[in-house]
Amino acid sequence: MSRRFRIDPRLALVIDLVVLVGAWQLAVVVIDRPFLPGPLTVARTFVAELGSGLLHHAWISAQRVLLSVLIGTAIAAPLAILAAENRVLDNFLSPLIYFLYPTPKVVFLPIIVVLVGLGNPSIIFLITLIVFFQIFVIIRDAVGRVPQATLDSVASLGAGRLERLRYVYLPLSLGAVMTAIKVSIGTAIAVLFIAESIGNNVGLGYYIVVEQWNRFAYARMYAGILAIALLGSLMFALVSWGERVANRWRAETGPDR
Amino acid sequence: MTAGSYPATEDAAGGELLAFRDVTFGYARSAPVLNGFSWSVRRGGFHAVLGPSGSGKTTLLHLAAGLRRPDSGSIVLDGRPVSAPSPRVGLMLQDYGLLPWFTARRNLEVGLAIAGYGRDARRQRVGDWLQRLGLSAHADRYPAQLSGGQRQRVALARQFALSPELLLLDEPLSAVDELTRERLQRQLHGLTRELGTTAVIVTHNIEEAVLLADTILLVTGDGCISTATELATPFGGELPRRADAGFQEFCGQIRERLGA
């Protein structure tokens, strides 16, 4: 008789951390070079740095990502709903999307810098661009899949365009948007890092590359990496929670008897 | 006998509520589904449209609900042409048409909000109808968390909360088990009687048509409705017992007519 092995997820998390930190410490011992400081050193530096600027850099970076996500969603959502409803518009937009969606937007950074200027404008523009495509594609597909019966049902209640938007497309898109943001957070932060490291004097990318790496301040560089990792995880957790709430209705609990 | 000579409307307790007048309708690039079709629906009656799948029954309901417009001919509700959906006409779709992202309560509210009811009226009607259909305990569940019969009752509650004059039902009970179906049939019959709602039910189930309806429109399965036979059921509006010989015999007659 085989019994399925179970473990408390909190215990699993602790084991994960122990293994991760252990492996890190082992690597430090084996490699023994200044560019790889130990976990304890980095943790101490991290705490010290938080008080002297790191928190501010993280906060700026967080604001940039949040603002980009908001702008990207605000532009993509209405366009995607229009495209899903209007075949002619979709015929024009789809080829563009298919061409541009898989193209890494970060390659446009030099052009964007020239176009909108260094610092906040180019950073936010670039991340918005990435988020825009993800959200556009996901909402357009979600709205395009609404069963005709659902549309007939609200139409038979006398719903016009605005009510269809409010009662069908928006609640349906909300979950899809959360999924899109969750998927694009990783890319957004990677791009944030690159964009912040040039021609700009604040943010985690700037902190890691310009303030520390360029000065061989390895412990502080790792503190920055830790901060960017934590920021990413925090955002990911928040969006995952939002996604769960927005998709509550897709209950897997099954019917209540 | 064709739909042109309405035997069922001659005993007219109420007048005509809905009429199809020489209606022709077809979907783009396919043969017409309705061709020169005329039909009259008596106010206060319970009418069944009975026929096999793919015979155009659902299209007929969509036209009556104003979701589609006839290519020629006219559809008239209470003397005025139907040109768009109206809150006077309720349509209950095959898969209930509930919005899966809203709870049972919110589904009822949305119907009322679209029909223009104010906040207080909405709250009161929603509460009343959830209770009447025994759904109070399930009000905050999503459709996916409800059983087929419960979903069905939510859809019914949503329709009745809007107090439509004409209720159009598309195979409303096809997806529920036999016992639930019988209970819902009694409930539906009772509610339409009590509220004086005119009902048109589309079904492929002979017993259901005979059980619920005063008149039955028989639609053949050749994919185009032009003329259809309409029969009056002999039960005088009372819900017959399935085991009765009369009921079984009448079902047998209809089965023969449909060539089953």
Q: Do B141 and A256 touch (CB under 8 A)?
A: yes
Residues B138 and B192 placed together within one structural domain of the fold: no
Residues B159 and B259 placed together within one structural domain of the fold: no
Beta strands at B89-92 and B166-170: parallel, antiparallel or unpaired: parallel
pLDDT tens across B189-236, in order?
999 999 999 999 998 888 888 888 899 998 876 667 777 788 888 776
Judge residue A132's burial from the number of C-beta atoms within 10 Å of its C-beta, 0-12 exposed, 13-18 middle, 19 or more buried. buried
- Residue count (chain A): 257
Q: Do B91 and A254 touch (CB under 8 A)?
A: no
At residue B176, the pLDDT reads 80
Domain boundary among B132, B163, B194: B163
Mean pLDDT for A122-132 is 91
Q: Choose, out of A150, A153, A164, the residue to mutate when testing the contact with B (most B CBs < 10 Å).
A: A153
Predicted-complex ipTM score: 0.80
Q: Do A171 and B94 touch (CB under 8 A)?
A: no
Structural domain tally of chain B?
Answer: 2
Q: What is the CATH number for B247?
A: 3.40.50.300
Confidence category of residue B260, pLDDT binned at 50, 70, 90: low
Residues B41 and B125 placed together within one structural domain of the fold: no
Residues B155 and B171 placed together within one structural domain of the fold: no
Mean pLDDT for B157-177 is 89
For residues B130 and B136, the answer to whether their CB atoms sit within 8 Å is: yes
- Amino acid identity at A117: G
Map tokens 């980095």 to a residue. A42
- Amino acid identity at B158: R
Residue B13, chain A, CB below 8 Å: the answer is: no
At residue A253, the pLDDT reads 54
Six-digit token string for B81 = 């042409």
Domain boundary among B163, B178, B206: B163
The half-sphere exposure of B4 on its side-chain side, counting CA atoms within 13 A, is: 6
Estimate the crossing angle of helix A120-144 against helix A170-196, to 10 degrees: 150
Residues B99 and B225 placed together within one structural domain of the fold: no
Give the whole-angstrom CA distance, residue B168 versus residue B41.
11
At residue B234, the pLDDT reads 77
CATH homologous superfamily of A67-196+234-246: MetI-like (1.10.3720.10)
Residue B18, chain A, CB below 8 Å: the answer is: no
Distance from CA of B30 to the nearest CA of A (A): 19
pLDDT tens across A219-232, in order?
899 999 999 999 99
Residues B199 and B114 placed together within one structural domain of the fold: no
Give the whole-angstrom CA distance, residue A113 versus residue B129.
60
Six-digit token string for B255 = 């089965």
Check pLDDT > 50 for residue B7: no
Its pTM surpasses 0.90: no
pLDDT tens across B26-41, in order?
888 778 888 888 899 9
Residues B138 and B198 placed together within one structural domain of the fold: no
Residues B23 and B36 placed together within one structural domain of the fold: yes
CA distance to A157, A257, B84, B108, per residue, from B141 (Å): 22, 12, 32, 12
Measure CB to CB from residue B93 to each of A153, A175, A256 and give the nearest one: A153
Six-digit token string for B23 = 């209606």
At residue A255, the pLDDT reads 52
The whole domain housing B19 covers: 1-88+166-260
Residues near B94 by Cβ (< 8 Å), separated by ≥ 6?
A149, B58, B170, B171, B172, B174, B175
Mean pLDDT of chain A: 88
Residues B184 and B244 placed together within one structural domain of the fold: yes
Give the whole-angstrom CA distance, residue B212 versus residue B173.
12
Mean pLDDT for A48-60 is 91
Check pLDDT > 90 for residue A19: yes
Give the whole-angstrom CA distance, residue A187 versus residue A174.
21
Measure CB to CB from residue A253 to each of B89, B94, B145 and give the nearest one: B145
In chain A, which residues have their Cβ closer than 8 Å to the Cβ of B152? none
pLDDT tens across B49-73, in order?
988 877 788 889 999 999 999 999 9
Handedness of CA B103, B108, B110, B113 (dihedral sign): negative
Residues B172 and B77 placed together within one structural domain of the fold: yes
Residues B40 and B145 placed together within one structural domain of the fold: no
**Which residues of B, range 135-194, sit inside 8 Å of A by Cβ?**
138, 141-148, 150, 162
Confidence category of residue A118, pLDDT binned at 50, 70, 90: confident
pLDDT tens across B231-258, in order?
888 776 677 777 788 888 888 888 888 8
For residues B238 and B205, the answer to whether their CB atoms sit within 8 Å is: no
**Cβ neighbours of B253 (radius 10 Å):** 12
Residues B103 and B200 placed together within one structural domain of the fold: no
Residue B111, chain A, CB below 8 Å: the answer is: yes
Check pLDDT > 70 for residue B14: no
Confidence category of residue B79, pLDDT binned at 50, 70, 90: confident
pLDDT tens across A185-206, in order?
888 888 888 889 887 888 888 8
Give the whole-angstrom CA distance, residue A221 versus residue A210.
10
In chain B, which residues have their Cβ closer than 8 Å to the Cβ of A249? 100-102, 142-144
Domain residue spans in chain A? 67-196+234-246
At residue B236, the pLDDT reads 64
Confidence category of residue B5, pLDDT binned at 50, 70, 90: very low
Domain boundary among B111, B146, B163: B163
